[in-house]
Amino acid sequence: MDAKKDYYKILGVSENASLDDIKKAYRKLAKEHHPDAKGGDKRSEERFKNISEAYAVLKDPKKRQEYDLMRKNPFLGSQGGGFEDFANSGGGFRVNFGRSGGGSGLDDLLSDFFGFSEKRGGSRRQSEEDLFGFSRRGTRSRGEDFHATITIPFELAAQGGETFVNTPTGKQIKLKINPGTEDGKKVKMTGYGAPSPAGGIPGDLYITIQVAKHPQYERKGLNIYSSEEINFAQALLGTEIEVTTINQQKVKLKIPAGTDSGKIFRLKKLGIQTSEGTGDHYVKIMIQAPKNLSGRAKREFELWAREAGLLS
């Protein structure tokens, strides 16, 4: 997965294109640029390779979400640590850098290099540091701190893992994400801020973690919330559905006969797992009304509804 490539442009579709549109575009372009159809033409071969790469990412909802995040957040390195969907992929990550802790402007420049700074009245005063960057206590000044805001995928925050962060100084560092990481979590990376101009210790990097929204799950604490659709007959007669948990576990959920739309079922201990405890997974049932009923089906349904006292 390469965020520098515009996979949407390669396939000739919009960023809001449906999966069907993406499949149609791929089939058309793959047929047109297949190496066999072009007699080994090198340009077509390269084009076909890019088309296949774009399709492999955009057809997969998780990879597509990750790619979309990457395009908006170019500072994230590739994911690692037991997370297949993110491994070797540069993940979703937005970062805003700022500085603090070391001062800024002409005043600091003068202080760092000449041992004095300007007062408001224009006269000079001796600074805490001498010409060589030592303070009066005999220690060198430290570098500035950096502040960054990153956005990570929902699953990574829930399950935990590792990601690699490209710092403002050009270094790539490993950032451990604990299971159950909350939106707004702040992390201090000691020594990864700006270097000291006088050879002292570097500043620190402070990272605020934001968690991306998920198309299927919501989260409150360690609990996961999702919804599942069933049809009217299933609600009336009862059924059994399969629910996928945040840990990709497939669980059978029995829906009793006469279940109302909006009914919530609890799957115990299938939420987020941390060292402090395990949450639950709550499933909200939504009933899909029947559509395109035949005339006969409508008459029979109306007859049943009247007998059941649902219609007057």
Half-sphere exposure of 118 (CA within 13 A, CB side): 10
In words, the CATH class of domain 218-307 is: mainly beta
- pLDDT score of 253 more than 60: yes
Give tens-digit pLDDT for 18-33.
888 899 898 888 878 7
Q: Residue 297: helix, strand or coil by DSSP?
A: helix
How many beta carbons lie within 10 A of that of residue 233, not counting itself?
11
Instruction: Assign 198 a pLDDT band (cuts: 50, 70, 90).
Output: confident
Q: What is the structure's pLDDT at 84? A: 33
Is 177:165 a contact under the CB 8 Å cutoff?
Answer: no
Residues 6+ apart with CB under 8 A from 251: 242, 243, 244, 245, 267, 270, 281
Enter the tokens of residue 63: 């990879």
Q: What are the domain boundaries of the chain?
A: 1-59, 218-307
Residues in CB range of 160: below 8 A, 6 or more apart: 176, 177, 178, 179, 180, 181
Which amino acid is it at 282? Y
Q: Decide if pLDDT at 168 tops 90.
A: no
Q: What is the CATH number of domain 1-59?
A: 1.10.287.110
Instruction: Kindly report, residue by residue over 257-310, the tens digit of the pLDDT.
Output: 999 999 999 999 999 999 999 999 999 999 998 888 898 988 988 898 888 888
* pLDDT for the residue 139: 59
pLDDT: which is higher, 102 or 90: 102
Residue 214 is predicted with a pLDDT of 93
